[in-house]
Amino acid sequence: MRVREIVERIDRLAPFELAESWDHVGLQVGAPDDEVEGVLVALEADDATLDEAARLDCGLVLAHHPLIFEPLARLTDEEPSARVALRAARERRAVVVAHTNLDKARGGLADLMAEALGLRGAQPLEPSAVDWLKLVGFVPPDDADLVRKALFSVGAGVIGDYEHCSWGVEGQGTFFAGEGASPVLGERGRDESVTEVRLEVVFPRRLRRRVTAAYVAAHPYEEPAFDVVPVENVLPGLGLGRLGALPEPVSLAELAADVAALVGLPSPRYAGDGARRVRRVACLPGSGGAALTGGLAAALASVADVLVTGDVKYHEAREALDAGLALVDAPHDLTEEELVLRWGAALTEALGDAARVETWRRPRGVWQHGEVAAEAVGVAATVAGTSPAPAMPDAPTPPAFPGAPTATPDAPMPTLLSDEPTPSTAPATPPPSTAPATPPPSTATVTPSLTGPGGEVTSEQAPSVVPESAPSVVPKPVPSGPAVYSLYTDGGARGNPGPAAVGVRLLAPDGTLVAEFGKTIGPATNNVAEYRALVSGLELALEHGVQRLICFLDSELVVRQLEGVYKVKEVTLQVFHTEARRLLARFTDVELRHIPREENSEADRLVNEALDAAG
């Protein structure tokens, strides 16, 4: 598929004319006529994204954040964005940006955030005026259809999801043809009155030359008459942010927890009384601090109980609280990354079989959650007039942040790429379906004996066969090589959609527990929860250096869709399906197995424990 054609499809989904005047969207690097087979959707175009595009053979990167934002005085390796642009050009990799146009569009980031939060009746916080023009022409009735088709072929007549939109009515046109004229109708040298159709179509301002040229070329007259007039309509459903209502009031703390789960944060952050009941919710993906200045906070407080957004400064937060508006922090990068990857499903549907769509999630966000240094704790204790507690050399390493998994000394920490797990201590004996006859006792989340110094799996340290007690399906013969691990995942929602959670268990080849966790993921359907559980589990296995894996799921739908037996018709599932495929491709050998629910009881337990703990 040509780059030009992909850009046109993106423009249909998120019209570029919706972008703010200061924004830079559209094709930033590349040749419009280059052919590409794959499109990589990512938050931004940087070296890591280009590395992933090369690995997945994607000739076009669709980034949410502009690669080139400030004007470039020169194109050299000395400036970061110029360097990345140069690299993309050398690799013949196109870069297309969909930024504030995607924020505003129907089905764009604001709509996806409202959907993720479960808002009903969501409408734009700030409706957008369209930057359109209208062509009004006068055409003989017999030629009206030909002229319409010429206008439609260059992009005129598109209103939202509707194409080929026009209006026409017959009337009388008059003219006097001079001696040098060659009229199509009537004669030279006298007044004529002919029947004509007044034809009207709207189009984006940027298409003015193409549209007027097409009209003149298709019109039978020597001197076709037409007007081009500005249109300042405000279309419903288009604009920045969304304002809607939750099905039922919830506490501010509960809403903040749902937002934290949506973007994989270990803990929520909000401003206001956590016990306050809120229902009217405004959301603004990305940076929303400017929406709280100059008296706007009071205006928002009159229609909303809480604003969910990112990049809010202290004084902006104070202004909001003084106006009676609560805030929930949705970090700029994590929120937009989650949403733009979900939007990748819409692009997949728009491109069909003409081009493959992949997604790229960064290993971590800009901000990290770290632990307090031991020296700092000692200083604080001394200042307080007490002595710090003595060190416990045999104790497990403390978690890096509340909610992080623990690890035994010298063992690698299981860090997820997108979601942080809730710690869970391994049972004294593994479940009957996976445990060997006499399992060794274990209380650690990580089993260091199965990993090398760098966390890699070594065939000398672990057996290279699947345990005979593996559930349900008889394992396929396994050639010699690195040992085979077992991954059990489950996802569930109380309501469909409703509060949801995932459970993940990674087992070593001998059946001992490597790591397990359960965590909430905010409102979701059961199928979305099942996919997110698998994605979280695959990320965990990769973090532990696992090369060969058998995945056990009780969701037949997920297994059959990933096997290609069932089609992924639900747009919401397509982005998780794509991400799961990307992760599965990173293993040397991987197998999916559908098992009965009772054989997945331990992962199911983790789901229910997480939901119960969240209330």
Confidence of residue 232 (pLDDT cuts 50, 70, 90): confident
Burial of residue 108 (CB within 10 Å: 0-12, 13-18, 19+) is buried
Q: Are residues 315 and 355 in the same domain?
A: no
Q: Is residue 79 located within the same domain as residue 166?
A: no
Of the ranges 255-264, 414-423, 575-584, which one carries the lowest mean pLDDT score? Answer: 414-423
HSE toward the beta carbon, residue 224, CA cutoff 13 A: 26
Tell me the pairing of strands 226-231 and 26-29. Answer: unpaired
Average pLDDT score, the chain:
82
DSSP 3-state of 31: coil
217: three-class secondary structure by DSSP: helix
- Alpha helices, DSSP H, located in 126-205: 144-153
Domain boundary residue, one of 281, 314, 330? 330
Report the amino acid identity of residue 130.
V
The answer, yes or no, to whether residue 387 has pLDDT greater than 50, is no
- Here the CATH number for the domain that contains residue 576 is 3.30.420.10
Q: Does position 380 have pLDDT exceeding 60, yes or no?
A: no
First to last CA, the chain: 49
Does the pLDDT of residue 385 top 60, yes or no? no
**Residues in Cβ contact with 153 at an 8 Å cutoff, skipping those fewer than 6 apart:** 214
Residue 318, domain member (yes or no): yes
Per-residue model confidence (pLDDT) at position 453 = 34
Q: Same domain, yes or no, for 214 and 119? A: no
Residues 319 and 346 in one domain: no
pLDDT at 77 over 90: no
Q: What is the pLDDT of residue 147?
A: 96
Q: End of a domain among 216, 232, 248?
A: 232
What pLDDT, on the 0 to 100 scale, is given for residue 408? 35
Residue 241 has pLDDT above 50, yes or no: yes
The two structure tokens encoding residue 162 = 């509707």
Alpha-carbon gap, residue 48 to 33, rounded angstroms: 25
State whether the Cα torsion 335-337-341-344 is positive or negative: positive
**Residue 136 sits in the same domain as residue 119:** no
Tens-digit pLDDT profile for residues 305-346: 999 999 999 999 999 999 999 999 999 999 999 999 999 989
What pLDDT was estimated at residue 396?
36
CA distances from 609 to 5, 518, 612 (A): 48, 7, 5
Cα–Cα distance between 394 and 377 in angstroms, integer? 19
pLDDT at 441: 36
Long-range contacts of 230-236 (CB under 8 A, 24+ apart): 230/132, 230/133, 230/134, 231/130, 231/132, 231/133, 231/134, 231/202, 232/129, 232/130, 233/129, 233/130, 233/132, 234/127, 234/128, 234/129, 234/130, 235/127, 235/128, 235/130, 235/159, 235/160, 236/123, 236/127
CB within 8 A of 27, min separation 6: which ones? Answer: 3, 7, 94, 95, 96
Query: Looking at the domain assignment, is residue 259 inside a domain?
Result: yes
- Tell me which of 261 and 5 has the higher pLDDT: 5
Residue 367 in domain: no
The answer to whether residue 414 is domain-embedded is no
142 and 281 both lie in a single domain: no
Inform me whether the pLDDT recorded for 218 exceeds 60: yes
Check whether residue 60 and residue 122 sit in a common domain: no
pLDDT above 90 (res 427): no
What is the tens place of the pLDDT at every residue in 12-38?
Answer: 899 898 899 899 999 999 999 999 999
Give the lowest-confidence range in 181-185, 278-282, 417-421.
417-421
The answer to whether residue 419 is domain-embedded is: no
Q: What is the DSSP secondary structure assignment for residue 327, as one 8-state letter?
A: E
pLDDT of residue 473 exceeding 90, the answer is no
Candidate from 57-61, 138-142, 451-455, 562-566 with smallest mean pLDDT = 451-455
What confidence tens digit (pLDDT) does each residue in 169-197 have?
Answer: 999 888 788 877 777 777 777 888 889 99
* Averaged pLDDT for residues 521-547: 92
Does the CA dihedral 533-433-611-268 come out positive or negative? negative
Would you list the DSSP string of 591-602?
EEEE--GGGGHH
Same domain, 350 and 209: no
Question: How does strand 191-204 pair with strand 242-251?
Answer: unpaired
Confidence at residue 481, expressed as pLDDT on a 0 to 100 scale: 58
Within a domain: 401 = no
The predicted structure's pLDDT at residue 144: 94
Structural domain count, the chain: 4
Residues 606 and 516 in one domain: yes
Give the angle subtended at the CA of 184 by the CAs of 180 and 190, to the nearest 5°. 55
Helix axes 109-116, 332-351, angle to 10 degrees: 110
Can you tell me the mean pLDDT for 268-288?
95
Interval 209-232 mean pLDDT: 92
Span 504-523, pLDDT tens digits: 999 999 999 999 999 998 88
pLDDT of residue 63: 97
What is the average pLDDT across 363-391? 52
CATH of the domain at 177: 3.30.70.120
What is the band of 370 on the pLDDT scale with cuts at 50, 70, 90? Answer: low
Quick one: pLDDT at residue 264?
Answer: 82
User: Do residues 181 and 249 both lie within one domain?
Assistant: no
Q: Are residues 94 and 165 in the same domain?
A: no
Determine the average pLDDT of the residues in 228-239: 86
Instruction: Give the domain extent around 30.
Output: 3-102+336-359
Check residues 405 and 101 and name the one with the higher pLDDT. Answer: 101
User: Which of 185, 211, 232 is the last residue in one of the domains?
Assistant: 232
pLDDT value of position 608: 94
Q: Which residue has the higher pLDDT, 570 or 550?
A: 550
Provide CB contacts within 8 A for 73, sequence distance 6+.
none
Q: Report which of residues 401 and 33 the model is more confident about.
A: 33
Assigned domain for 42 exists: yes
Q: How confident is the model at residue 393 (pLDDT cuts 50, 70, 90)?
A: very low
pLDDT in tens, 81-102: 999 999 999 999 999 999 999 9
- Considering the chain, what percentage of its residues have pLDDT values greater than 90? 59
CATH number of 37's domain: 3.40.1390.30
Among the ranges given (182-196, 235-249, 496-510), the one the predictor scored with the smallest mean pLDDT: 182-196
Of the pLDDT bands very low, low, confident and very high (cuts 50, 70, 90), residue 386 is very low
Residue 441 maps to a domain: no
Q: Assess contact for 603 and 487: CB atoms under 8 A.
A: no
Query: pLDDT confidence of 72, banded at 50, 70, 90?
Result: confident
Examine the domain organization and report whether 157 and 270 are in the same domain: no
pLDDT at 440 over 50: no
Convert the pLDDT of each residue in 442-462 to its tens digit. Answer: 333 333 333 333 333 333 333
